[in-house]
Amino acid sequence: MSSRIERSVCPYDCPDTCGLLVEVENDKVISVKGDPEHPVTRGSLCHKMNHYEKTIHSPRRLIEPLERCGPKGSGKFRPISWDKAISTITERWQQIISEFGAEAILPYSYAGTMGIVQRNAGHPFFHRMGASLLERGICTPAKGAGWDAVMGKTPAPAPDEVVHSDLVILWSSNAAATNIHFLQLVKEAKKRGSQVWMIDLYRNQTAGLADRTLLVNPGTDTALALGLMHILVRDNLCDQDFIDQHVQGFAELCENILPAYPPQIVSEITGLSSNEIEDLAQAYGTATAPFISIGGGVSRYANGAMSVRSIVTLPALVGAWDKPGAGCFVGTSTSAAFDMSQIERFDLLQGSPRTINMSCLGGALTQLNDPPIKSLYIYHSNPAAVAPDQTQVLAGLTRDDLFSVVHERFMTDSALYADIVLPAVSSVETSDIYRAYGSYTVQRSRKLIPNVGQSKSNIEVFSLLAKGMDYTEACFDQNAEERIDQLCAVQNSWWKDIDKSALTAGKAVKLSPPRPKMFVTPSAKIEILNPTQNEPLPIHIPPTDNRFPLQLVTAPAHKTLNSTFFERADLRENQMKILINPQEAQRRNLNDGALVNAFNDLGAVDFYLQIDERVPAGLAVAEGVWWIEFAPGEKTVNSLTSQQLTDQGGGSTFYDNRIELRASNLRSKSVFDSLR
């Protein structure tokens, strides 16, 4: 049989949301390429997706439902039928509900795949049940909170504006690992003569593109932003006409805040030299079209929302919003384009169940009473690896009285602790619709191959669970295509220029975000002064935890995405590493390549040491969220991260943890295993 090429969409948690050309032969995917007609992808994919067929047809795929037959975490399971799996789950849930109430059941899901209808398929079911609600904020809600504090609901500019910029600042954005198609636009800007500056914690892969790289002390970005504003005001580099017309609180900022941030003070706080700060301020203040792209890292501190808020304030001072190619980009928010109520079905909600923040899962599983969590249903996520405070999460997952179900494609760390494992489909085995968060594209994807083994999609599983629970609402009988059609039937201004036939044919189309004449804030101005905030003006709130000497940065890896893609030997690095500066290694008498033990008061994790001059003193960098199976010891990086939340938005604080390093007592796992 000859092969055919079909369009599809990269389903993963990445701002690019690439268009794929998928080659299918004999009901199998045999190759995957970037769609040259996709406006963002333009024919190229990242390492992760170039051989997506290896993930789809991996020998590691789970292909039948499993029931635990050994201790939790042992990985001992036996196959069962779907009928048995569904009846076991629903009978156990009925029991729990009658004894403890539905709040004793907690769904746990995030952005394992990003298609709107599959990702949200559990919401109607758990709302109908009255289960505890999950606050899904593990990623960067503090970034949104920081933007909203200054810009309100003003839509972000389109990221392709950057090609017209003459100064691009990549602030805490390792775009080479997390946003490669935006980086291509930055390269275009550079070809046209733009200067590129990078502000980050260590010299990651993106530094290769930057003309200047500034390495700041962790959590001091607000001080840097305020220091830059100090110089802009001191040197008359502000756009006073723009400020007079469009900015609220400039006078108060100048009077009450900026005097405390002269270059020498900011230098002490940030670790940059006064010259570096002066140079950046001059470059920013004299650029014709300065463009700042803010990445996620800066929002993952306890002061994350304030950090983003202060950076978002900068463009207001130079009138960047009036200039083509200038501005500030934190991501696109297109939720207003869709009627999400049709998908999320909050109207089905029973009572007023409590809400549990997903970054606090460890505490919820081990400390909550009234009622305790008695059952966890995990889908689109792998909390045993990705949630902070892994020691507590695993303690919770090991509880004998916790009934946990995991719907997954692979035997992840979380699946190992499940009572029932349900096999999940990959994105090409089902239909969905995707909206990007790094551009305004929307694209529909169709089911291209039969489900692998007995795997099922979220919609299929929740339909079976609804029947098992005797929920009779019509939404539980709706298939994926019907839900997508319902979403696409919307008529609002975002859709006015959309070619619906192209969308139906599976091509990427661009939404039209509203372009309001004014800023969408209560004052219709950019609100440097925002009276609704605890701190009405931006102010640097220094990090307070100095109990351990090294700041841990849980940075993105180049070829994996959070804990996704670790099933692929070709994408995993050989070893789970921690990177430190030669000085720090020497101080501790540690050698390159040695097994080291990173620890703090939350836990201890073994890594292989990489001595790396790209990392400044005082920092330790761990790239990627490894599966325990591939770690040298029994824990991975989130044993060192805390459940603390950001100042606003309920976000995680993955960058705000401190550790110490020592030589490890562990021999490498393979040697260790052979001795057992």
Where on the chain is the footprint of ligand SF4 (CB under 6 A)?
A: 10, 12, 14, 16-18, 45-46, 48-49, 180
Q: In angstroms, what is the minimal distance from the CB of 550 to ligand SF4? A: 30
Rounded to whole angstroms, the Cα distance separating 152 from 581 reads 41
CA dist., res. 563 & res. 164, Å (int): 36
Contact criterion met (CB below 8 Å) for 443 and 19? yes
Do residues 405 and 383 lie in contact, with contact meaning Cβ atoms separated by under 8 Å?
Answer: no
- Smaller CB separation from ligand SF4, 17 or 404: 17
Cβ of residue 49: shortest distance to ligand SF4, in angstroms?
A: 4
Separation of alpha carbons 162 and 145, rounded Å:
23
Measured distance between the N- and C-terminal CA atoms of the chain, rounded to whole angstroms = 50
In the bound state with ligand SF4, the residue whose beta carbon lies nearer, of 525 and 558, is 558
Pick between residue 114 and residue 361 the one whose CB is nearest to ligand SF4: 114
Contact 459, 380 (CB under 8 A): no
Closest distance to ligand SF4 from the beta carbon of 561 (Å): 6
- Of 118 and 313, CB closest to ligand SF4: 118
Q: Are 210 and 170 in contact (CB under 8 A)?
A: yes
Closest distance to ligand SF4 from the beta carbon of 647 (Å): 29
The residue whose two tokens read 């980050």 is 200
Q: Any bridge partners for residue 357, and if so which?
A: 135
Comparing CB distances to ligand SF4, the nearer of 184 and 668 is 184
Q: Based on CB atoms, which residue is closest to ligand SF4, 180 or 459?
A: 180
Which CA distances in Å does 256 have to 240, 244, 529?
18, 18, 11
Q: Which two tokens stand for residue 418?
A: 């499940």
Smaller CB distance to ligand SF4: residue 12 or 403? 12
**Of the two residues 14 and 229, which places its CB atom closer to ligand SF4 in the complex?**
14
CB of 177 to ligand SF4, least distance (A): 10
**Of residues 16 and 606, the one with the C-beta less far from ligand SF4:** 16
Shortest reach from residue 29's CB to ligand SF4, in Å: 14
Residue 115 Cβ vs ligand SF4, minimum distance, rounded to whole Å: 13
Which residue, 18 or 464, has its beta carbon nearer to ligand SF4?
A: 18
How many other CB atoms sit within 10 Å of the CB of residue 673? 9
| Nearest residue (CB) to ligand SF4, 220 versus 381 | 381
Distance (Å, whole) CA 322 – CA 247: 12
Q: Residue 32 or residue 215: which is nearer to ligand SF4 going by CB?
A: 32
**Closest CB to ligand SF4 among residues 301, 434:** 434
- Those residues whose C-beta lies under 8 Å from the C-beta of residue 649, and which sit 6 or more positions away, are 137, 141, 142, 143, 144, 145, 299, 304, 305
By beta-carbon proximity to ligand SF4, the closer residue of 13 and 166 is 13
User: How far is residue 85 from each of residues 137, 277, 482, measured CA to CA in Å?
Assistant: 30, 61, 26
Q: Which residues of 444-473 are buried (b: 16+ CB within 10 A; e: fewer)?
A: bbbbbbebbeebbbbbbbbbbbbebbebee
CA distance 342 to 110: 19
Neighbour tally for 350: CB within 10 Å:
13
DSSP strands (E only) in 69-119: 77-79, 105-109
State in angstroms the smallest separation of the CB of 33 from ligand SF4. Answer: 10
What is the rounded distance in angstroms from the CA atom of residue 140 to the CA atom of residue 308? Answer: 11
What pairing do the DSSP bridges indicate for beta strands 195-200 and 619-623? unpaired
| Closest CB 434 distance from ligand SF4, rounded Å | 9
CB of 32 to ligand SF4, least distance (A): 9
- CA-CA distances (angstroms) from residue 206 to 176, 199, 307, 558? 5, 10, 21, 11
Burial of 545 (0-12, 13-18, 19+ CB in 10 A): middle
Q: Which two tokens stand for residue 48?
A: 């992760």
CB of 662 to ligand SF4, least distance (A): 36
648: its two tokens: 């606003």
| Residue 47: C-alpha distances to residues 33, 118, 571, 595 (Å) | 11, 25, 8, 28
- Shortest Å distance, C-beta 45 to ligand SF4: 4
Angle at 237 between CA 235 and CA 239, to 5 degrees: 145
What's the rounded Cα separation, in Å, for the pair 261 and 549?
Answer: 26
Q: How far is the CB of 451 from ligand SF4 (least distance, A)?
A: 22
> Least distance from C-beta 312 to ligand SF4, angstroms?
25
